A and B are shown apart, each in its own frame.
Chain A
């Protein structure tokens, strides 16, 4: 059974940092590009960024709204995905999902990040 389990969410003040983790199981993690998608309360889905697999040199891409502040990384030996979020803003408040997009459509349950003073 495919599982994506996010962790690390919580309440953080504006301007501070937070790191999310995603533990993957049930599929060959290293074979897949991995994405982060977020959803603000009562709002739609927003793509955050992607890290590609080793054969694509682990290249990353980000949405304009987070570029320069967020960094995605992965550890294939631990089947884990990470999202380092710096200089957090109130508008970054959302549920953050770890996702395998494309024909697989694997989604985690999400972890809530609340940015508030």
Chain B
């Protein structure tokens, strides 16, 4: 099972919106609505930001939203803030009953 494909880096200015893509196949992202997004600050434990494509856990800012089209999922961060600077990982359930992560995207706030 190959890792999901994410851009290595995405950047934006404070207040802007950015979108991170996560491309898989019909055997993972395209097969189920089980896509999650995690935020990880340096030296910290990953934090769940989105689950089941577009659901936010309690306590996560509504500036974070998720979507999916075909084999590609996306995470959008609106009203970008300095605290959003972190690594972001997508993950998907697969038809082999395994989990696959994306390679990660470094978000930089300019």
A residues in contact (CB < 8 Å) with B: 35, 37, 44-47, 50, 61-64, 97, 101-105, 107-110
Contacts and interface: CB of A to CB of B under 8 A. Distances in A.
Given A44-B103, A47-B98, A63-B98, A105 B57 contact: yes
Given A47-B98, A64-B1, A101 B91 contact: yes
A113 B107 CA distance: 28
B97 interface: yes
A96 B98 CA distance: 17
The 9 A-B residue pairs with the shortest CB-CB distance, nearest first, are A105-B48, A47-B99, A44-B104, A45-B101, A103-B51, A107-B45, A61-B97, A44-B103, A45-B89
Contacts of A103: 48, 51-52, 55, 57
B20 interface: no
B90 to A, nearest CB: 10
13 contacts: A44-B102, A45-B40, A45-B46, A45-B89, A45-B91, A61-B97, A101-B36, A101-B91, A103-B57, A105-B51, A107-B46, A108-B45, A109-B45
B100 interface: yes
B63 interface: no
B72 to A, nearest CB: 18
- Most chain B CB within a 10 A radius of its CB, from A63, A64, A97, A101: A101
A77 B14 CA distance: 49
Interface in B59-102: 87, 89, 91, 96-102
B45 A46 contact: no
B38 interface: yes
A19 to B, nearest CB: 22
A101 B92 CA distance: 11
B41 interface: no
Given A103-B52, A103-B55, A105-B57, A110 B45 contact: yes
Nearest to B58: A103
Nearest to B34: A102
